[in-house]
Amino acid sequence: MTQTIADNLQIIRDEIKKLATAAGRDAGAVRLIAVSKTKPVEDVQAAYAAGQRDFGENYPQELKDKYPVLPEDIRWHFIGHLQTNKVKYIAPFVAVIHTVDSVRLIEEIEKQAAKYDRIIDCLIQVHISGEETKFGALPEEVGDLLKYAAGCPHVRMTGLMGMAALTEDTELIQRQFAGLQALRDQWQQEYPLLTELSMGMSSDMAEAIAEGATWVRVGSAIFGQRSYLNR
Ligand SMILES: *Cc1c(COP(=O)(O)O)cnc(C)c1O
């Protein structure tokens, strides 16, 4: 018997609760984003039928195409690299943008959100992995981005997002997540809305939850491996 998406979801939800409790946190303190990039709408519908409402997507065009054919009450999280000229595709409906890393991008989100009379929740993606290939602001740039966003009435900064290094070294992963948590704690003193920490994926969910993740972004453990063409 093969495991269904609903089975996988249940396993991940149980695992999240277990990890949160083991870390001395509330069982409900960590919420799950089901990352459906490259997966067909049928897979999203299967997860939706199993009660999932928060979904993550990486590509503006793909999200723009999926949005109108899926239920209205899905909260769409944008978690991929976002080019300023693509903001307009997702601004009418996106719930949270996790990957804000420049003033230019904030400026464009402000402009597009204003056009639709919306306030969009945003997280600053911080470069924590030390790897060349990952996007994100440097830790020392976070203050300037928060300051700029504070002057944008249609952008609400609610936290930080990060991706740890792709490594078997779980202590390194945990240190990187701990660093992001410390950075969030530091800036939360000045910006009390900064409550969210989006960190942890299928492979490093445990380390992220131990270090305070409030959102985990899980794809392959729910929907299966993606085609290598699409990462
Ligand atoms: C693809 C992706 C995920 C999910 O990764 P899995 O390893 O499939 O769980 C999470 N976060 C980001 C930013 C991603 O691009």
Sign of the dihedral through C-alpha 172, 159, 198, 138: negative
- Tell me what pLDDT residue 134 has: 62
Most informative mutation of 9, 16, 35 for ligand 1 (most atoms within 8 A of CB): 35
Q: Which atom of ligand 1 is nearest to the CA of 99?
A: 13
Most informative mutation of 43, 79, 230 for ligand 1 (most atoms within 8 A of CB): 79
- Tell me what pLDDT residue 228 has: 57
Contact residues of ligand 1, CB 6 A cut-off = 35, 37, 58, 79-80, 163, 201-203, 217-221
Low-confidence ranges of the chain (pLDDT < 50): 230-231
Q: What's the token pair of residue 7? A: 């089975």
CA of 90 to the centre of ligand 1 (A): 19
Beta-bridge mates of residue 55 = 34, 76
- Tell me what pLDDT residue 132 has: 80
Q: Which of 44, 31, 28 is nearest to 223 (CA)?
A: 44
Q: Are 176 and 199 in contact (CB under 8 A)?
A: no
- Tell me what pLDDT residue 13 has: 98
- Tell me what pLDDT residue 131 has: 86
Q: What's the token pair of residue 24? A: 């001395």
Beta-bridge mates of residue 216 = 32
**CA-closest residue to ligand 1 atom 7:** 202
Helix (H) or strand (E) segment spanning residue 55: strand 54-57
